[in-house]
Structure 1
Amino acid sequence: MFKRNWKRFFAAVAILSLIVSGCASGSGESQGGDSNGGAADGTVTIKLHTWYPKKTDNWDAAIAEFEKIHPHIKVEFVSAEDNNSNEYYKKLDLAAASGEALDVVMFSNMNYLSQRMELGMLEPIDGYLEQEGAVLVDEYTVDTRIGGETYGLPGKSVLPFVFINENHLKEAGLELPKEWTWDEYMQYAKAMTKTEAGKTRYGTYFHSWPTQAYFIQSMNQAVGANLTTDDGTKANADTPSVRKSLELRLQGEEEAFVTPYSEVISQKLNYRPQYFNQETSMISMGSFLVPETGGTDQVPATFKTVFAPLPKVNKEDPVSGNVSGDVLGIYSKSKHKEEAYTFIRWYTTEGIALQGKYFPSWKKVNMDEVVDNIIAGTKTPEMIDKESLLYVLEHMNQTTAAVAVPFHAELEKVFIEEFDAMMLSGQDLDTTVKNAQQRIQKIIDSK
């Protein structure tokens, strides 16, 4: 443990020294009247760093409304607008290291926030919440605390559930499930698989994300959802949930009702065209995809989507799923922390609902209105089955998994290497689990 703390300390010193040197090198410009985002009339400009496209996701409308309510705060939208969060993090870290002015910073999930929190990049915001008498867990469905402290507020809520092509469901003579198990999910996939003229339409599709390799553990259970135990000290790859996930992935390959993993990897397939081009009949995906099922300018909706809850492992288990989503934090060296907090608090409550694109994490939102706005904002609203969507949103128990260790990407890398050996080279399941467990533990011990 001491070894891990010293490594974290030196990493923090390294990046903080870059930040300090960056500020020093830019000191010649810091004397300008607007360098800190302030104006002579008292108006303050804060920078919002993200990866989202401004107009497509209605950020322009949300920001305009915020500035109307808070005329003394202006929001500068800073984004490559390419919807690529991986590239965004590289630019964000470079901006911090070079001393660039940062105020509000967004993260696509808590793992990315946690990594930068450890380097001192984020301001604790518990004091701001206490000042207005707000309690995080009473306000939001996602608990974003790390070690009892809050470094970010949850934006959109991403709940995992199942998207199904209604035509394929009816064609197979299947009923839309109100609750089901993963074994039944695979049976549905098998029933909807269809081959004509040498071409197969698969019943379901698993994406190349590492979490889709151990999907039951990552999506279904709040405790022990990651590849380490929740305290980060032990490997967590040899579990019943991981084994069940691997068994089902192998079953789908062997019985040919899941898009072959070799094709997913070699052709770099993406879940959007696989589902919307009807290459597959159903997918287990996050709620962020709901607006797209009503069609966009780029991809029109050509069939109706119905929705089902996330499957369970056992029939007696509750219907639940680990909720995640974007998180908004305040940069620790921001000159306008109060104004940055005002924005993220407004956006994570009223603002995100105003956008009409996402499901908010705010508990006090009127979900019926949110659903109506999302559906109405699509090109072909009739392609979204509102009844089944509301049923899922109202009946799924939303749970929050522990934040993964900052080096979780290293663990997923070795897990996927063993998963690939099983799926592509015939390595047996027991060896896969054993190797993954040992390799992950070795990485943990080295930290």
Structure 2
Amino acid sequence: MKLKWKWKQTAIGMTAAAVLLTGCASSKEADGGAASTSSGKPVSIKLHTWNNLKTDGFDVVLQEFEKKYPNIKVEFVSAGDNNSLEALKKIDLAAASAEDMDVIMLPASNYLAQRAALGMFEPLDSYLSKEGIKLDDEYIGATQLNGKTYGIPGKSVSQFVVINEAHMKEAGLTVPQSWTWDEYLDYSKKMTKTEGGKTRYGTYFHTFINFTYLAQFAQMQNAGLVTDDGKSANINTPFMRKSLELRLQAEKDKSGTPYAEVISQKLNYRPQYFNQNTSMMQVGSFIIAETGGSDAVPATFKTVFAPMPTMKKGDPILTPVGGDNFAIYNNSKHKQEAYTFIRWFTTEGLVLQGRFIPSWKKANLEQVVNQIVSKTKTPEMVDKESLLYVLKNSAATKTAVPLTYQAEVDKVMQEEFDNMMLKNQDIDTTLKVAQDKIQKLVDSKNK
């Protein structure tokens, strides 16, 4: 059956004019079953990702997969620079050029939803059904779009705070097991230090959009910029106000790396933390292995872990849980083999990889953490006690259905946040303008 896709100019990385694609796809999905291939003949599938083949352990993983499934060879397609957004741009261009692709790794569910809505991915429900798999029973953070499954979760990314233990002790502080955002700022002030004209800041806030709504980001429901039902802008809330206040307070206290400096110098959170230019930062659990160091980036100090701060004392400790998703390109010539790889990698493969915490519910958390830490260059630089405490005592927030137009929502919020941080726009105006603009956008999408 011939499928025609009209790719419009959108915020997902396509900057060229609309491109009309014509490709071949099966009129019905192949038989499921992760232990078989569709023909039994040797085939080669392409895996598109942003990870590094050796540093991220994919070389070992692919070898093991091909031992178990000798009829399936996996071609690893990646720049290897861990830049997921640049990888997405290349994937979009490959689709626009009708290149062969099979397995596509996406960094978050909203990127999956954007492309699924354009017909880029194969629905996986019949594959899962024939294997007898209920996605929510098998994986954390699974999502659907219009009642269909387009991706299987890979690693599970929860949120926490990493702290340089030496800086913390130097300031007379201890590892927090629960704390508020006000206390977070207090830690930041106490760990900020200026010597020889250079400042080591107590905290660093990166340019990711969730850093514009930190206090709302970790709420059980309606944690995003749009309500969970997708009907209303979610900006005019006490959590959003607190989020903006804490960013302005860190600027005023000069305890956070100045936002203008972050933007103008295009700073990245990894070097800021590992080069000890900052003492702590909120980050995802994908960072665990890096805190133990590698040949490329040695760990020169011990990292301790604290949970996400809360609005007020006594609030439950919550964390958003997301992560990458694995999808099958809709024009793949080897969909069954692609599904076989995805199911193996998101279960046994991720555990074997020993770099990340899997979304697979059957994985043993302590065993996985021990494996991740043991594979680092200097395991003693990772405080496993505080890490396990945070992972075991942080409850996951509700997973909302991703918006297909999330990038447009994010763009509005980012613009108003920048106006506040760089042009002295007050909080009330920032909240009102962002609320009105996003509501208008929501209304236009729900017509």
Post-superposition offset of 1:12: 7.6
Residue of structure 1 in register with 2:182 after alignment: 183
**1:385 CA drift (Å):** 0.7
SS of equivalent residue, structure 1 residue 251: helix
- The answer to whether the 8 Å contact 2:6/2:18 transfers is no
1:400 deviates by 4.1
**What amino acid does structure 1 have at the position aligned with 2:21?**
I
Structure 1 segment 7-86 matched on structure 2, within 5 A: 11=7, 18-20=20-22, 42-86=41-85
- List aligned pairs for 1:242-391, cutoff 5 A: 242-391=240-389
Q: Residue 417 of structure 1 aligns to which amino acid in structure 2? A: E
Q: Counterpart amino acid of 2:336?
A: E
Name the SS for the 2:298 alignment partner. Answer: coil
The aligned length equals 424
Q: What is the alpha-carbon distance in structure 2 between the residues aligned to residue 41 and residue 16 of structure 1? A: 39
Q: Distance in 1 between matches of 2:399 and 2:131?
A: 27
Residues 222, 402 of structure 1: 8 Å contact kept: no
Q: Which residue of 1 aligns with 2:439?
A: 441
Cα distance in 1, alignment partners of residues 355 and 151 from structure 2 = 21
1:397 CA displacement: 0.9
Match of 1:237?
235
SS of equivalent to 2:20: helix
Distance in 1 (CA, whole Å) between partners of 2:230 and 2:366 is: 39
Contact 1:143–1:400 under 8 Å retained in 2: no
- Structure 2 unaligned residues grouped into runs of 5+: 11-16, 26-36
Relative distance call for 1:434 and 1:12 in structure 2 (3 A) is closer
Match of 2:30 in 1: none
Q: 1 CA distance for matches of 2:40 and 2:278?
A: 57
SS at match of 1:164: strand
Whether the 8 Å CA contact 2:420–2:426 is kept in 1: the answer is yes
Mean CA deviation greater in 69-78 or 239-248: 69-78
Q: Partners of 2:139 and 2:201 in 1: how far apart?
A: 37
Does the 8 A contact of 1:12 with 1:118 survive in 2? no
1:199, distance to aligned residue in structure 2 (A) = 2.4
1:145 aligns with 2:147: no
Once the two structures are TM-superposed, the CA of residue 17 in structure 1 deviates from its matched residue by: 7.5
Structure-1-length-normalised TM-score: 0.89
C-alpha separation in 2, matches of 1:423 and 1:12: 32
- Aligned counterpart, 1:427: 425
After superposition, what is the alpha-carbon deviation per residue over 1:359-395, rounded to whole angstroms, capped at 9, x for unaligned? 1111111222211221121111111111111111111
Measure the CA separation in 1 of the matches of 2:9 and 2:169: 60
Query: CA offset at residue 64 of structure 1?
Result: 0.9
TM-superposed CA distance for 1:285, in Å, is: 0.3
Give me the whole-angstrom Cα distance separating, in 1, the residues matched to 2:227 and 2:7: 24
Unmatched 5+ stretches in structure 1? 1-8, 25-37
1:288, 1:128 → 2: CA distance? 29
CA contact (8 A) 2:38 2:337 kept: no
Cα distance in 2, alignment partners of residues 355 and 412 from structure 1: 33
- Quick one: distance in 2 between partners of 1:246 and 1:113? 29
In 2, are the aligned partners of 1:141 and 1:398 still within 8 Å (CA)? no
Contact persistence 1:23–1:98 (CA under 8 A): no
In structure 1, distance between residues paired with 2:149 and 2:222:
21
Bigger helix fraction: 1
Please state whether the residue corresponding to 1:145 is helix, strand or coil.
coil
Distance across 1 between alignment mates of 2:381 and 2:143: 34
Look up the SS of the partner of 1:406 in the other structure.
coil
State how far apart, in whole Å, the 2-side matches of 1:67 and 1:329 are.
20
Aligned equivalents of 1:13 and 1:131: distance in 2? 37
Q: Which amino acid aligns with 1:408?
A: Q
**Matched residue SS, 1:283:** strand
Q: Deviations over 1:2-48 (max 9, x none)?
A: xxxxxxx965899998331x669xxxxxxxxxxxxx99971122221
Distance 1:10 1:270 in 2: 35
CA RMSD of aligned residues (A): 2.4
d(CA) in 1 for partners of 2:198, 2:443: 48
- CA distance, structure 2, for counterparts of residue 40 and residue 16 of structure 1: 36
The 2-side partners of 1:345 and 1:417 are apart by: 39
1:31 alignment counterpart: none
- In structure 1, the residue matched to 2:128 is 129
TM-score (norm 2): 0.89
